[in-house]
């Protein structure tokens, strides 16, 4: 690899104690300082003659604004910057700006901290396929009125060069900067004697004066043409990390960090976040044909991996909504929006957020025509079909859920038969081992278990027996075992359900494994007086220990059944009532979809019957009232708790 020397000329603009905006600018040039200076001076010489500017020492944009006015001064800046860029010596124009007045008590240390950001920005601007010689840094001399330096070379070494390693360790600078800069590479020069510092002054002044229409237009043009990079310095740690990821070219990390940013009470944070996300998506959309979808997948994977736990779904949902707004603002391709909507739909289903789920259904329908034009996106439509099935469950429309699940299974079968028509393609026997085929079958099994009709339960049992657990990954195996427990519960096979539940909780520790185990144990305690109390108490201890951190669904169901076990198996009324109260607290935080309202009603019946607290009167949707009526009829012949549990699929 070729070794190339680089020089960074640095200037600043704004009073670091009083100004509304603090700016530190840099011009990254090819060549050692003397070489870069010579080439810049050569590029500027004809410009100075044409513009009637005597020397480089007179090339100071603040003075030009005073003597020639904003319009002419901006025209001069445009000419100067175009000339040095065309010469090939300038490779990047860099700016670190602080527009919020946030800094350290010592203004000079604030300036030096922004210098560190500028160095990291320069490091990110260097080509990755070049082995660079140490970066030479030339800083404009800054003097107080008495002639003393505001920041000496020793100050710069202590607060900038020697702090690089600390910044690398906390992710605020790239590791490559350690190899590119040491104490021998930083120098302070008088600005009047340097063409490089004169150009850096132009960049700083142009940035500082963006309130002027002409300067703002030139600045925007330089950014759009990727000649100038801007970094917002200082600020809160989370926002700073988002900007640093963008600075370093990690667009997926930057998008995820901005989307997750909690603005709290910061008045202007929402606007900065929306602007940053939209800007990032415009950059992503310029990454070729496949690049945008690959970046989106990376963002969604990062967000899902960190926030897939039920208690984090509200954070995930908010982040995805912000990404959706950015995609819509930048007219993102339909395929990207469809992929994003599928994850938003999945999270909404898991939270029980019916309005968002229904909005996603409508959005996917609107996108279906555009998505169908690209056969490679067919999997997105299959995903949307599964999600629609689960949304019908939120509505408590189990017949519709089963209908959509059967349609999805039929379409998946047809998709599988296509492979038989292709030469050298895997046989259908291979396709039925795929996760696509497994998901289609498991979706139908869930719909059959929700319906709870005798014929549906028979079919569910047959389909469960057809699936070989040994071929599944850990997550799918847990789901399969959970459905087998669920199936035994609905068929009234209490002893079988309890035996399966004990095996499930021994092997798996996910929230839904807890839900199915708790249901089986609670039903055994309620319906089968012959169930061994010792075994139930052991399960109760396991459930309590593992459910302690549950927030969100299915935590409300787990704690409901812990309450049943406390009452029936442990004989502890106070502990049972506390568990029911905890269950209702979790339920109250969930969206008011029909399925959540029904589960809340069933929990309230438990607490009313065991703790003497009358359920509140509220208006309920028709689907909930229909189940409530069935349960009330059942109650005529049995205990209310058992009557409602027999009607409830959960």
Residue 171, classed as helix, strand or coil, is coil
List for the chain the helix, strand, coil content (%; round to 5).
70, 10, 25
Residue 45, classed as helix, strand or coil, is helix
Mean pLDDT of 563-572: 92
Query: What backbone torsions phi and psi does residue 15 show, to the nearest 5 degrees?
Result: -85, 120
pLDDT-based confidence at residue 431 (cuts at 50, 70, 90): confident
What strands lie across the sheet with 131-140, from one edge to the other?
A: 186-189, 131-140, 3-13, 22-30, 90-98, 228-232
For 293-349, the DSSP string reads: HHHHHHHHHHHHHHH-SGGGHHHHHHHHHHHHHHHHHTT--HHHHHHHHHHHHHHHH
Mean pLDDT of 92-97: 91
What is the pTM assigned to this prediction? 0.76
Q: Rounded CA gap, 513 and 469, in Å?
A: 15
Residue 425, classed as helix, strand or coil, is coil
**Residue 267 confidence (pLDDT):** 65
Please tell me which residue, 240 or 484, carries the higher pLDDT value: 484
Mean pLDDT of 106-129: 73
Write the secondary structure of 584-597 as one string of H (helix), E (strand) and C (coil): HHHHHCCCCCHHHH
How far is it between the farthest Cα atoms of the chain?
Answer: 104
Cα–Cα–Cα angle for 233, 236, 239, rounded to 5 degrees: 75
Mean pLDDT of 567-582: 94
Residue 81 burial class via C-beta count within 10 angstroms: exposed 0-12, middle 13-18, buried 19 and up: buried
Q: Which two tokens stand for residue 349?
A: 């289903």
Share of the chain above pLDDT 90, in %: 56
**Residue 414 confidence (pLDDT):** 87
**Residue 243 confidence (pLDDT):** 78
Query: What backbone torsions phi and psi does residue 119 show, to the nearest 5 degrees?
Result: -65, -40
Q: Rounded CA gap, 481 and 489, in Å?
A: 13
Kind of pairing between the strands at 131-140 and 186-189: parallel
**Residue 178 confidence (pLDDT):** 43
Q: Which of 89-98, 122-131, 445-454, 506-515 has the lowest mean pLDDT?
A: 122-131
Over the chain, what is the mean pLDDT?
A: 86
Tens of pLDDT, residues 483-512: 999 999 999 999 999 999 999 999 999 999
**Residue 211 confidence (pLDDT):** 85
Mean pLDDT of 612-632: 91
Kind of pairing between the strands at 90-98 and 131-140: unpaired
Torsion of CA 438, 440, 441, 443, to 10 degrees: 120
- Distances in whole angstroms, Cα of residue 396 to Cα of each of 60, 265, 441, 443, 594: 72, 38, 20, 15, 6
Q: Residue 90: beta bridge partners?
A: 29
| Residues 601/628, Cβ–Cβ less than 8 Å | yes
pLDDT at 297 over 50: yes
**Residue 232 confidence (pLDDT):** 76
**Residue 180 confidence (pLDDT):** 53
Exposure string for 545-560, b = 16+ CB within 10 A, e = fewer = ebbeebbbbbbbbbbb
Which fold would CATH assign to domain 3-235? Nucleotidyltransferase; domain 5 (3.30.420)
- Return the number of other C-beta atoms located less than 10 Å from residue 180's C-beta: 20
- Distances in whole angstroms, Cα of residue 571 to Cα of each of 546, 600, 633, 643: 21, 24, 29, 21
**Residue 629 confidence (pLDDT):** 94
- Distances in whole angstroms, Cα of residue 114 to Cα of each of 11, 296, 564: 11, 31, 60
Mean pLDDT of 90-99: 89
């Amino acid at each position: 690899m070729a070794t190339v020397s680089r020089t960074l000329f640095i200037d600043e603009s704004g009073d670091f104690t009083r100004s509304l905006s603090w700016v530190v600018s840099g011009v990254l040039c090819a060549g050692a300082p003397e070489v870069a200076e010579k080439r810049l001076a050569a590029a500027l010489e004809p410009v100075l003659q044409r513009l009637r500017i005597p020397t480089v020492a007179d090339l100071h944009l603040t003075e030009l604004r005073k003597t020639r006015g904003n319009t002419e001064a901006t025209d001069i800046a445009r000419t100067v910057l175009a000339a040095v860029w065309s010469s090939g010596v300038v490779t990047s124009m860099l700016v670190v700006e602080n527009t919020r007045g946030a800094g350290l008590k010592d203004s000079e240390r604030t300036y030096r901290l922004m210098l560190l950001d500028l160095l990291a920005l320069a490091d990110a601007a260097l080509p990755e396929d070049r082995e660079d010689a140490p970066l030479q840094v030339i800083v404009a001399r800054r003097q107080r009125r008495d002639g003393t330096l505001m920041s000496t070379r020793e100050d710069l070494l202590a607060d900038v060069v020697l702090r690089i390693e600390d910044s690398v360790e906390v992710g605020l600078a790239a590791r490559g900067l350690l190899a590119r800069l040491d104490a021998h590479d930083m120098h302070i020069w008088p600005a009047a004697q340097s063409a490089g510092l004169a150009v850096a002054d132009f960049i700083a002044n142009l940035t500082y004066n963006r309130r002027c229409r002409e300067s703002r237009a030139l600045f925007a043009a330089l950014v759009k043409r990727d000649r100038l990079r801007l970094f917002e310095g200082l600020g809160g740690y989370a926002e700073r990390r988002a900007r640093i990821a963008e600075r370093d070219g990690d667009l997926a990390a930057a998008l995820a960090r901005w989307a997750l940013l909690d603005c709290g009470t910061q008045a202007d944070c929402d606007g900065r976040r929306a602007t940053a996300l939209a800007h990032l998506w415009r950059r992503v959309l310029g990454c070729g044909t496949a690049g945008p979808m690959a970046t989106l997948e990376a963002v969604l994977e990062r967000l899902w991996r960190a926030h897939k736990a039920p208690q984090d779904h509200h954070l995930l949902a908010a982040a995805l909504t912000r990404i959706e707004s950015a995609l819509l603002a930048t007219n993102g391709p339909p395929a990207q929006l469809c992929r994003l909507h599928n994850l938003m739909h999945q999270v909404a289903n898991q939270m029980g957020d019916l309005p968002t789920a229904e909005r996603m259904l409508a959005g996917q329908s609107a996108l279906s025509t555009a998505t169908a034009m690209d056969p490679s996106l067919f999997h997105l439509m299959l995903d949307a079909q599964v999600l629609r099935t689960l949304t019908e469950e939120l509505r408590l429309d189990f017949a519709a859920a089963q209908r959509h699940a059967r349609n999805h299974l039929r379409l998946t079968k047809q998709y599988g038969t296509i492979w038989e028509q292709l030469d050298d393609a895997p046989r259908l026997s291979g396709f039925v081992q795929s996760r696509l085929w497994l998901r289609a079958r498991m979706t139908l099994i869930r719909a059959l278990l929700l319906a709870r009709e005798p014929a549906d339960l028979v079919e569910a049992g047959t389909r469960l027996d057809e699936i070989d657990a040994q071929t599944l990954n850990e997550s799918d195996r847990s789901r399969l075992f959970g459905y087998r427990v669920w199936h035994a519960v609905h068929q009234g096979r209490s002893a079988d359900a309890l035996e399966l539940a004990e095996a499930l909780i021994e092997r798996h520790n996910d929230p839904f494994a807890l839900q199915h185990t708790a249901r089986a144990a609670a039903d055994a305690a309620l319906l089968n007086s012959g169930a061994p109390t010792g075994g139930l108490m052991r399960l109760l201890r396991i459930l309590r220990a593992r459910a302690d951190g549950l927030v969100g669904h299915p935590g409300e169901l787990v704690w409901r059944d812990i309450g049943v076990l406390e009452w029936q198996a442990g004989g502890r009324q106070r502990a049972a009532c506390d568990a029911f109260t905890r269950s209702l607290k979790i339920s109250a935080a969930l969206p008011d979809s029909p399925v959540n309202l029904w589960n809340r009603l069933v929990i309230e019946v438990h607490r009313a019957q065991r703790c003497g607290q009358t359920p509140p009167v509220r208006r309920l949707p028709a689907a909930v009232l229909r189940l409530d009526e069935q349960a009330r009829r059942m109650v005529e012949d049995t205990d209310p708790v058992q009557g409602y549990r027999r009607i409830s699929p959960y």
